[in-house]
Amino acid sequence: MSTPVLEARDVSMVFGGLKALKGVTLTLEEGKIVGLIGPNGAGKTTFFNCLTGLYTPTTGQVLLKGNVLPGDPAKVTDAGVARTFQNIRLFPSMTVLENVMVGRHVRMKQGPLASLFHGPAYQRGEKAARERSRELLAFVGLNGVEDELSRNLPYGDQRRLEIARALATDPAVLLLDEPTAGMNPQETEATQQLIFRIRETGVSVVVIEHDIKFIFGLCDSVSVLVQGELLVEGSPEVVRADPRVVEAYLGKPPEEVQHDVEAAAAAEEEQA
């Protein structure tokens, strides 16, 4: 078996007394789409933060193509992991095109002085970045809005812009944090097609989502995270049939539910 493109080994994250992640292991094979589901406060976003260097895992490690990822977001991006956010985090006062070009930052070479003396190498670099950024905007289906401020875009377009910006870093792995949150069924469908097309370009994808139907229709494999622990992982069919998943999503005795709700609320608070 070839080396997986992304591998999280036994990742734990402790905030004070709260164990947000308890030994989570996840493997992403090249060219696959892996879904990560679980109730609110299960630690999904925390896990993404560990994968991208925003958090340093308390124990465990994250490997990209067999190499341990550095604990620094900028270097993780350079190594080839990009992400989007659950709460959209575009640069609000920059234009759509500029947002994507910031994503190109890591693949451009001009230092502070090169950009001062507009030499030919600088001009070429800027032009190439601009062209690539336009391609990506077209790829995600954002045409004719490149000079708008990103904060003025409709919600669904902002999500697509975030994906274009993440793709601009030339990632090997793309992490999508609730890419269809707040979308209508048509937009959700379009997003699914977009993620398939992203995979066709050779990028492997991890998706966090609450929409179970979306995840089961999209992913090659699904991991279920509950209270910081990996509950089940496997193909959509296996996960769908697992009684523990059914319980986590469809319910269990009221007193246990109450307990879960409190734990989830505490975890959310801790994260915020």
Partner 1 sequence: MSVLLQQLANGVVQGALIALIALGYTMVYGIIQLINFAHGEVFMVASYGGLATFTLLPDDLKKSPAVALPLMFVGGIVVAVVVAVIMERFAYRPLRNAPRLAPLITALGVSVFLQEAVRVFYPNAKSNLPYPKVFPEGNLTIGSVNISWTGIMLVVLSVGLAVILQTYINRSRMGRAMRATAQDPDTAKLMGVNPDRVIVLTFIIGAVLAGVAGIMFGGYLNNINIDMGFQNGIFAFTAAVLGGVGSIRGAVIGAFIIGLIKTVAGQYMPGGTQYDYVWIFVVLILVLVFRPQGLFGEPERVRA
> Which of 148, 229 has the CB closer to partner 1?
148
End-to-end CA distance of the chain: give it in Å, rounded: 40
Q: How many other C-beta atoms lie within 10 A of the C-beta of residue 230?
A: 22
> Which of 40, 115 has the CB closer to partner 1?
115
Which element (helix H / strand E) includes 243? helix 243-250
- What is the secondary structure of 49-92 as a DSSP string? HHHTTSS--SEEEEEETTEEPPSSHHHHHHHTEEE--SS----T
Closest approach of Cβ 230 to partner 1, in Å?
25
Closest approach of Cβ 135 to partner 1, in Å?
18
> Which of 74, 138 has the CB closer to partner 1?
74
> Which of 174, 230 has the CB closer to partner 1?
174
> Which of 256, 269 has the CB closer to partner 1?
269
Distance CA(3)–CA(202), nearest Å, equals 15
Closest approach of Cβ 15 to partner 1, in Å?
16
> Which of 54, 190 has the CB closer to partner 1?
54
* Residue 149 DSSP symbol: B
Cα 34 → chain centroid: 11
Closest approach of Cβ 9 to partner 1, in Å?
22
> Which of 93, 186 has the CB closer to partner 1?
93
Q: Which residues bind partner 1 (CB under 8 A)?
A: 52, 54, 72-74, 76-78, 82-83, 85, 87-94, 98, 101-103, 105-108, 110-112, 115-116, 122, 125-126, 129, 165, 169
Q: Half-sphere exposure of residue 34, counting CA atoms within 13 Å on the CB side?
A: 26
> Which of 72, 270 has the CB closer to partner 1?
72
Closest approach of Cβ 18 to partner 1, in Å?
21
Closest approach of Cβ 77 to partner 1, in Å?
4
Token pair in block for residue 235: 């193909």
Pairing outcome for strands 33-37 and 204-208: parallel
Token pair in block for residue 170: 């030339």
Distance CA(243)–CA(223), nearest Å, equals 14
Distance CA(125)–CA(46), nearest Å, equals 36
Closest approach of Cβ 201 to partner 1, in Å?
19
Among 176, 171, 170, which residue's Cα sits nearest to residue 194? 176
Residue 209 dihedral angles phi and psi, to the nearest 5°: -160, 150
Closest approach of Cβ 86 to partner 1, in Å?
10
